[in-house]
Each structure stands twice: as structure tokens, then as C-alpha cells.
Amino acid sequence: MKKEEADQIIRGMLPHLNNLQLKQLQDILKKNISTDDSETEKLSNEELLSKYFSAKRAEGCSEKSLSYYRSTIVKALSKIGSNAIEIMTDELRKYLTDYQSLHNSSRVTIDNIRRILSSFFNWLEDEDYIVKSPIRRIHKVRVVKAVKETYSDEDLEQLRDGCENARDLAMIDFLASTGMRVGELVLLNKDDINFQERECIVFGKGSKERVTYFDARAKLHLQRYLDSRTDSEEALFVGLKCPHSRLTISGVEARLKFIGRKIGISSVYPHKFRRTLATKAIDKGMPIEQLQRLLGHSRIDTTLHYAMVKQQNVKNAHRKYIG
């Protein structure tokens, strides 16, 4: 038998067999076209997951992301109760449907689960543990895109006025002008800041290094804050009380929430500064590719999710380019 004929048989049986059966058929056909009669050993789910996460670590995925991926995949495999290479499309579809019904989950949550499972099963296919990913026929969940809020210029001024100390003022201006993630902010050290060029090096997701920039107001307020400090901590932002240790993500979130409550602005949180900067940059005509680089996104569609395009800008663009 020729290899082309064997491939044709496998393609013809794809709709009728699960991956384990397809793998067995593939092994049998291989024996008839090759002298290599070794059969692929069936690995356990834990062994497959171990190999999968080793591959993801090599790609630079963070341990935080891997932990989230592991809990999601393990929960699905445990509920279905089968070896990963035997799981069929209908079982995955039923799992997602039951999960949504049981937990009253949003479409966004269900699509995140689908996306993570897709990564795992597509890797199994790429590594030849299965012939075809069973999740390929489960399409992306349609999600209604809600217009997410940003800070207005008035909001930002109120937040600045609500600051009781130099640190909070510097922190708000720094978040507003750089658009960096709060996780990136708390990792910064004083030595990372180049005041002359108004720039700093940050380490984003996947330990990716990039340069980001801040404006003149942020520079002045940051210098005043650092000049006022008497501690020897290397961190850029530290706690207000002794021992003045490095500020944490939860510390930043709690402080912004406190300032927001004090001045009467609800939903004050770090990520909103990032979305505000992205929206403002788009509105002022910043090329999306440059904004993508500034925010540290690996995919441009992620950048587009952050940036809302105002209807008035669409109208002006139509008049400019269409007539």
C-alpha cells in the first residue's frame, strides 16, 4: 500500500472514528507501508499535560498563565472522564454547555475555556498524539462587545486632586501617561527610569522587555516623590508606612479604589488607565501598529479590543476620505 492511499483512507474515516481509533488505524496502515512496526504508546492525561506545559514554558508562557491553563484543562478532562486522545467533539461541546448552565457563566468565560482547550488539543494534533483536534468544529463563541468605560479628562483631574501625598499623584500620572500594566508598574525600580529621555524599560507578559514613555507632568511628580523619600528600597513605588516595602498589585488597586470613593468616582482601577491611553491615542490618530508596540501586545487584535473609536471620528474620517 502507498502512503497516499493510506492518507486517503484516514481522511475518509475522520468523521466516523474518534482519535484513539484513528491512531490505531494509522498504526495499522503504517505497518503496511513501512518496516517500522513500533506502535505509539498511549500516554496518560498527566503525562500529556506534562509534555504540553513543558512546550508552553519553552514558548515563554508565564507560570501564572500556565497555572490557569492547567486548572481549566484538568477540570475538563476530569469531568469528561476519558483519556485526552479519545475525547470526541460532542463530549467537549456538552462539557461547555453544562459548564455554562451550572455556573451561569458569561459567553466570555465559556469562550476562554474553549480557547484554552483548543490550545491543548491543537498541540496534541501538532505533536501527532491525535490525528485531528476534536475542538476544531467548536467555533468561537459570539460575544456582545460592550463599550468599556475610560477616564475623562475631568476624571483624571479629580483623581489628581484627590491625592493626599506625592506617591499617589506620581502613581496616577505614571499610569495615565505610560498605559503600562499594574503588574509591570510594581516591578519597576528607581534605576529603571531615564528621566532625561522620559522613558523606562518594563518587563511585560512572557518576560518580554520593551521601552515605554511618560509625559512631562509624570516626570515632575515622580521626581518630587522620589526626592521626598528617605528609605533605601530600590522599588519605584513603595508603601507609605515603614518598612516602606515594594508596593504590590493589590496595594495599588486598593489605593486607587480608596481615592475613587473619596472623590465620588466609581470603578477606579489600574487597567482603566491603560484603556484610556489606548482610546486617546487612537482618537488622536496614532497608528495602531505603534500603539501595539507601546502597549506590548503580541497580536494587533488585542490592541483593537482596548481602543474604542468614537463615532464622531468615524464621521470625520468619512468626510476626509470619502467626501
List, as one string, the DSSP characters of 201-232.
Answer: EEE-GGG-EEEEE--HHHHHHHHHHHHH----
Question: How many Cβ atoms are within 10 Å of 160's Cβ, its own excluded?
Answer: 17
The three cell numbers of residue 249 are 498589585
CB 52 within 8 A of CB 119: no
- Residue with the bigger pLDDT between 211 and 312: it is 211
* Range 230-239, long-range pairs (CB < 8 A, 24+ positions): 234/189, 234/190, 234/191, 235/186, 235/188, 235/189, 235/190, 236/185, 236/188, 236/189, 236/190, 236/192, 236/193, 237/167, 237/170, 237/171, 237/185, 237/186, 237/188, 238/167
What average pLDDT does this structure show over 140-163?
Answer: 87
Average pLDDT for residues 198-220, to the nearest whole number?
89
Q: Which residue has the higher pLDDT, 303 or 34?
A: 303
More confident residue, 258 or 62: 258
What would the pLDDT profile of 264-284 be if each residue is shown by its tens digit? 998 899 999 999 999 888 888
Arch. (CATH architecture) of 43-144: Orthogonal Bundle (1.10)
Average pLDDT over residues 38-66: 84
Q: Are strands 209-213 and 193-194 parallel, antiparallel or unpaired?
A: unpaired
Distance (Å, whole) CA 213 – CA 12? 56
**What pLDDT shows up at residue 254?**
96
Other residues' Cβ atoms within 10 Å of the Cβ of residue 259: 21
User: Which 3 state secondary structure label does DSSP give 238?
Assistant: strand
Nearest to 56 by CA among 46, 65, 44, 45: 65
> 153-318 sits in which CATH class?
mainly alpha
In this prediction, residue 132 has a pLDDT band, given cuts at 50, 70 and 90, of: confident
Report residue 5's pLDDT band, with 50, 70 and 90 as the boundaries. confident
Burial of 139 from C-beta contacts in 10 A (0-12 / 13-18 / 19+): exposed
Q: Rounded to two decimals, what is the model's pTM?
A: 0.67
Residue 36: the pLDDT is: 46
Return the sign of the alpha-carbon dihedral for residues 245, 249, 253, 256: positive
Position 114 confidence tier, pLDDT thresholds 50, 70, 90: very high
Angle at 285 between CA 279 and CA 289, to 5 degrees: 80
Answer yes or no: are the C-beta atoms of 118 and 135 closer than 8 Å: yes
